[in-house]
Amino acid sequence: MDCIFCKIIAAEIPCFRLYEDEDTLAFMDINPASEGHALVIPKEHFPDVHVVSDAAIASTVVTAKKIASAINKTLNPDGMNLLQCNGPAAAQSVLHFHMHVLPRRDGDELKLNWGLAPGDMDAIGELAERIRENL
């Protein structure tokens, strides 16, 4: 299947991996909307919330909580959004169900549909290591 996240799960393309269990994978977003932006996905492929299984969404949310906690310890942000997008108007760009874990800073003015811009891979990799230490 031509799905970038399925390829990440299969280790066909690299990622800054944070956590993995039988059902889910968490890794850093390479187009971060904020410092520490991470993604959590079910290993089973579902395009969006309308078709994801109850088991897959449940395990994804549990892993997102774990990742949010580790990011909180690592970066001590002022807030955090757990966000999930479906369809073009909601700016879903990857059709594999995923949750964004988005650390927030006071006054960062982050809006929905924030747009994709590549991050600094060295900084993202270094941050992934720090977050993993807090898992």
The residues assigned a catalytic role are 98
Give bridge partners of residue 17 from the DSSP assignment: 27
Site membership for ligand DGP, residue 6 (CB under 6 A): no
Residue 24, phi then psi, degrees to nearest 5: -135, 160
Q: Which stretch binds ligand DGP (CB under 6 A): 44-52, 57-65, 73-81, 85-93?
A: 85-93
Query: What mask of x and - would describe binding to ligand DGP in positions 43 to 72, judged by CB under 6 A?
Result: ------------------------------
Rg (CA), the chain: 14
Give bridge partners of residue 24 from the DSSP assignment: 42
Query: What mask of x and - would describe binding to ligand DGP in positions 93 to 132, judged by CB under 6 A?
Result: xx---------------------x----------------
